[in-house]
Each structure stands twice: as structure tokens, then as C-alpha cells.
Structure 1
Amino acid sequence: MAGMGSILFSAKAIVVKLAYQYGADSATVLALRMLLSLPFFWLAVYWQSRRQSSVPLTRQDIFTVIFLGFVGYYLSSYLDFLGLRYITVGLERIILYLNPTIVLLISLVFLKKTIVPKQWVAMGFAYAGVILVFSQDIRWDSHQVTWGGLLVFGSAVAYAIYLIFAGEIVQRVGSIRLVALASTSSACFSLLQALLLNPSALWTQAPEVYQLSLFNGAFCTFAPMLLVMLSVNRIGPGLTSQAGMLGPIATIFLGWYFLNETMSFIQILGMLVVLGGVAILATIKPTQQPRPELSEAE
């Protein structure tokens, strides 16, 4: 269940790249994804509210949710979608998998948390793996790969900020409700951007773009979050996080199968090095531990 959630979540990049083949732009693809996923999230909130009462939101909670939706879902997703225009889905997923290391580094710089030597070693392995894959891809088009890599890394930084700030409010609001509220905030920002950049694009796309966007919203956004949350309840966060390693592996094979992207020994080796570094990091009691049900919802 956790592995399937990770694979479906990683397939988001495949769906986005397929939508690009029909002429859709990044802002439109993002807006459609967020709008079409909202009904599923709010149905989940309604179902949960029938089982247990919800804590009323304070004014501070509302501002926090708007901020989290902007940074964690809108900004992070938009940078990711932009980056996918320039790099392979395999490199994109490997860069995003650095998220736990970015959380640690932000905690070190801004929250004055301590990083133990073993964590530095694990992060060194993770970033060495990314550099290995990056060094191969950059040979084909150095400018595009560099720009795309920076955009996706910016996406990972934005989502790391979301995880740090969401850790406190999720205890009070609840993970499903927080994701639904943050998604609503993100949908508003995404819709506003799409209307400003290209007002008619939302209703003039090819039918395939709407089909892909519905699949993206239902099966690559809502379903993974639900599967991961169920897995956390059944097998615990540790095993759920380990199953998440299937995501980058599946992405490389899916990119090769659906997008005809190259799958090389260097790419697989770099991916394994990144996975190894993050796996080592997972064995250490972290300074700032992202909740699995939040970290899979990007």
C-alpha cells in the first residue's frame, strides 16, 4: 500500500510531461491539477468530520494555512512543473528525494538545530548521487539541465519549508484537513496565475490534457496521500518511509517506458547512492522529522 502510494505520487511527473506534449503550459497544468483534486480532498474531510469533530480554526490558523498552501503546494509544484520542461523525470525525482536533507539544513541554519556527524555523511552520499546523475544529463544540454535542476531544487526547498511549518499546526488541525485547506489555498493561487497569464487556456486545451489532469488530481495527488496515511496507521511511519524508496526507482522505469527517456548505468548508480544516503539518514533520530502523510502530498 505504501509502495503503491509512492509510485503513484512519483507518476505525477510522467503525467505532467505527457500533458506538455499536447501543448499545455505549466501554469494551466498546475491549475487543472489542483482544481480537479479538490473535490476528493473535501470528500475525505467530510467523511472524517462525520466520525470526529474538528477543532475550529483561529485567525492565526487561517493565515498559516494560506502561507502553507502558497509555499508547499503552489510555489513548490509550480517550480517543479517548470523544471520538468528541462530535465528528465528521473533526475527530477532524485532531486526531490533530497527533501529530508534540506529540512535538516534549514533546521541547522534558521532553527539552530544540531546535525550529528553521521547525518553529514548521509547527506554527503545523497548529494554525491545527485551530482553523479546530473553530470551525465548535463552533457546533452548544460544550460537547460542546469536551469531545470535549479528549479526543481527550489521546489524541494519550498516544500521543506512547508514541512517545517506544518509540523506544529497538523497536530491541532489534522493531516487530512490541513492538506485539503492548503490545497484550496494553492488552487486559488494557481487559478489566479493561470487566468493572468493565459485566461482562455483553462477551457481550450485538448481533451487529453483534461483526462491527464483528472488522473493527476485523483491518482497522483489524492490517492497517494490516502494510501500513505493508511500505511502509517497500519505499519508505522518507519516502514512507510522505507517503502517510499520505490518512488524514484519506479520513476526512472516509467520515464523510460512512457517518455522514451534514457535509462543508463550511471543514472541507476546515482539513484542508488541517493537512496542509500537517505536510508542512512532515516536510521538516525532526526532533528526535524517530517510526517510521512505530509511529505507524500506535494
Structure 2
Amino acid sequence: MSEKTKIYIALGIVYIVWGSTYLGVKVALHTLPPMLISCTRFLIGGSLLFAFTLLRGQGMPTLQETRNAAFIGVLLSGVGNCAVAYALMKMPSGLVALLVATLPAWMILLDFLFFSNAKPTVIGTIGLVLGLVGMAVLLNPSQQIGQQEVPVLAALIVFLGSIAWAFGSLKSPYLVLPNSLQSTAIQMVVGGCFSLTMSIAFEKDQLQSFQNMTTETYLAMIYLIFIGSYVGYTAYVWLINHAPPQLTATYAYVNPVVAIFLGWIFLDERLTSRSMLASAIILAGVVMMTLGRKRPPKEIDMQ
């Protein structure tokens, strides 16, 4: 299988799997607060995955590899996810998603300033703008802003989380990391510890929330751990080490589209004409960003 084919398969996995986790999170939020969901998901998932790698005889990673993977884990599953979780407690989810959708712009900017110094192509830039326009049409932020004042601090925290996620994604290929599965496991565990700290600081009644868990909550958490984390996060970790950042970041546009269609299929949520139009604009933007992408960087030996 060619490298190009692997990249598109990994992209498809991240698009669909992470888009589908919105369903799982919606169900889990009925009984658990958002940052507690993140820490439970990553701590359990990461610990089981690391134990699995040891059973396969992979051995312990070196101190340098562990430290590097932990650093990426703090930025991605730690700061990145907690920023979104905190914002969800302060503002409408649609508005949070719109702020998170600026991730491709942060990745392209940081990549130009600190890493490859490669300017985006004209086609890629047009695709980026189309993606932002599509997200604006999809989420209709003017209506949400009119319904509720936007907390400035929460919005700034979302941007900080997106910058941390973008920097971690760009930095990863330059670091010596364990093999893919162990790197994913360490990142999840460290991110889970960070999320646990934030949950203790900002959320209340964690033990009572666990006691209130229903069968649906357990099923949602199982899905988030085994599909969202193992399949989706592992694919993303591989992707950030093999694909251009502007291509990898397109998941931020596609995931809300996938979530809307899955909500329409499984939760009988209304699919409006505006959603259809916005989805078409977003997908057109993704296609243009894909066509305008740079050649993937030289593959780095991660062993």
C-alpha cells in the first residue's frame, strides 16, 4: 500500500470515528461532566493499550521516548481536550465547534513560523477560507451569539487549546517517540492525568456522577475508549507524523458534518437545508486543501 493511500485511509478514519464520538459524548454528558469524561476515557484507554503493548513483547520505551510522548500528550489530549471541555460548560456547543474550526489556520500559521516555513498554496488557502465559511453557515454563530453572551475567557481558552493542539501535532514528527501504539498509550495516560487535575479543579461531585451512570453511559464510554481513542486517536497520531499539517487539520471541518449526519440517522435530529449547503461548502474546501497540499515530509523512524 502506498504512503498516499495510507494517508487517505487514516484521514477517513479520523473523519468518521471522531465525528461519531459526538454521539458518544452526547450520551455520556447526561450523567458525567465533560472533563471527567475525558480523564476517564483517556486513563482507562491509555492504561489498557500500554498493557497490551507490553503483552505483545514490545518492551518499555526509553526515558527520552516517554518524556517526548508525555509532552505531546499534555498538549493534545490534555490541554486541547480540556480547553474544549471547559468551554462546553460556558457556551453553546455550536459556538465552541466554530472556535475549534480555526485549528487549520493555527496549524498553517505555526507551521510557517516555526517549522517548515512553507507558505500555503493558493488553492490550499482558498480551501481554508471555504472551510471557515462553511463552518459559519453550518453553526450559524450570529444566532447563538444573540441568544447568549460569549464569555471572553472561555473563548480565549478554546483558542489556547487549539494552539496547543496545533503545536503538538506539528512538533511530534521532530521528536524521538516510542512505536505508534505505545506513543498513543502514553499520550492518552498523560492527557488523562491532566484532565483529572482539571476536573478536580473545575468540576464537582465526580463520585456522585459515577454512581449515576446508566447502561447507556457505560456503552457510550466503552465506545469512546475503544473506538474513539484506540482507533481514532491512533490514526491521528500516525497521521501527524506522515501527512502535511494543512491536510491533517481538515478533520476540524469534517467532524461536525459527520456528527450532524449521524445525529440525523441515529437520533432523528433535523437535517436542514442550511446544513446540507454548509456540508457541501466544507467538503469543497477540504477537496481544495487536499489538492493544494505540499508533498509529505520525509518519513521519520519512530522506533
TM range (shorter): 0.7 to 0.9
The answer to whether the Cα contact below 8 Å between 1:113 and 1:287 also exists between their aligned partners in 2 is: no
Q: 2:213 aligns with which of 207, 212, 225?
A: 207
TM-score normalised over the length of structure 1 = 0.73
Q: 1:139 aligns with which of 136, 139, 143?
A: 143
CA RMSD of aligned residues (A): 4.0
| 1:72-127 deviation per Cα after TM superposition (whole angstroms, max 9, x unaligned) | 111111122334454456x7667656544431121223444323323222222122
Relative to structure 1, is the Cα distance of residues 44 and 157 closer, same or farther in structure 2, using a 3 angstrom cutoff?
farther
Tell me, in whole angstroms, the C-alpha distance in 2 between the residues paired with 1:82 and 1:260.
28
The answer to whether the Cα contact below 8 Å between 2:123 and 2:291 also exists between their aligned partners in 1 is: no
The answer to whether the Cα contact below 8 Å between 2:121 and 2:293 also exists between their aligned partners in 1 is: no
| 1:219-239 deviation per Cα after TM superposition (whole angstroms, max 9, x unaligned) | 2211334577899xxxx979x
Q: How far off its partner does 1:252 sit?
A: 0.6
The answer to whether the Cα contact below 8 Å between 1:10 and 1:220 also exists between their aligned partners in 2 is: no
Relative to structure 1, is the Cα distance of residues 182 and 69 closer, same or farther in structure 2, using a 3 angstrom cutoff?
same
Q: Say whether residues 1:108 and 2:117 are aligned partners.
A: no
**1:20 is matched with which residue?**
29
Q: How far off its partner does 1:253 sit?
A: 1.8
Matches within 5 A, 1:168-247: 168-169=174-175, 172-198=177-203, 200-202=205-207, 204-205=209-210, 206-208=212-214, 209-225=217-233, 247=255
Tell me, in whole angstroms, the C-alpha distance in 2 between the residues paired with 1:290 and 1:102.
22
Tell me, in whole angstroms, the C-alpha distance in 2 between the residues paired with 1:95 and 1:140.
13
**2:4 is matched with which residue?**
none
Please say which of residues 79-88 and 102-111 is displaced more in the overlay: 79-88
| Matching residue's letter, 2:164 | A
The answer to whether the Cα contact below 8 Å between 1:93 and 1:251 also exists between their aligned partners in 2 is: no
Q: Give the length in aligned residue pairs.
A: 279
Q: How far off its partner does 1:287 sit?
A: 7.7
Q: How far off its partner does 1:14 sit?
A: 2.2
Tell me, in whole angstroms, the C-alpha distance in 2 between the residues paired with 1:130 and 1:290.
32
Tell me, in whole angstroms, the C-alpha distance in 2 between the residues paired with 1:143 and 1:288.
43
Q: Say whether residues 1:11 and 2:20 are aligned partners.
A: yes
**2:287 is matched with which residue?**
279
The answer to whether the Cα contact below 8 Å between 1:68 and 1:182 also exists between their aligned partners in 2 is: yes
| 1:1-21 deviation per Cα after TM superposition (whole angstroms, max 9, x unaligned) | 754663232222222222222
Relative to structure 1, is the Cα distance of residues 254 and 219 closer, same or farther in structure 2, using a 3 angstrom cutoff?
same
- SS of the equivalent of 1:173 reads coil
| Matching residue's letter, 2:28 | A
Relative to structure 1, is the Cα distance of residues 7 and 290 closer, same or farther in structure 2, using a 3 angstrom cutoff?
farther
| Matching residue's letter, 1:168 | Y
| 1:41-64 deviation per Cα after TM superposition (whole angstroms, max 9, x unaligned) | 21442255x3x6676232xx4443
| Matching residue's letter, 1:67 | F
The answer to whether the Cα contact below 8 Å between 1:5 and 1:227 also exists between their aligned partners in 2 is: yes
| 1:108-156 deviation per Cα after TM superposition (whole angstroms, max 9, x unaligned) | 234443233232222221222122224x243145365855776655543
**2:77 is matched with which residue?**
73
Q: Say whether residues 1:157 and 2:163 are aligned partners.
A: yes
TM-score normalised over the length of structure 2 = 0.72
Tell me, in whole angstroms, the C-alpha distance in 1 between the residues paired with 2:199 and 2:184.
22
Gaps of at least 5 residues in structure 2 are 1-8
Relative to structure 1, is the Cα distance of residues 255 and 113 closer, same or farther in structure 2, using a 3 angstrom cutoff?
same
Tell me, in whole angstroms, the C-alpha distance in 2 between the residues paired with 1:11 and 1:199.
27
Q: 2:125 aligns with which of 110, 120, 131?
A: 120
| Matching residue's letter, 1:82 | Y
| Matching residue's letter, 1:80 | V
The answer to whether the Cα contact below 8 Å between 1:164 and 1:290 also exists between their aligned partners in 2 is: no
**2:5 is matched with which residue?**
none
| 1:236-276 deviation per Cα after TM superposition (whole angstroms, max 9, x unaligned) | 979x97x9787443311223455665432222322322222
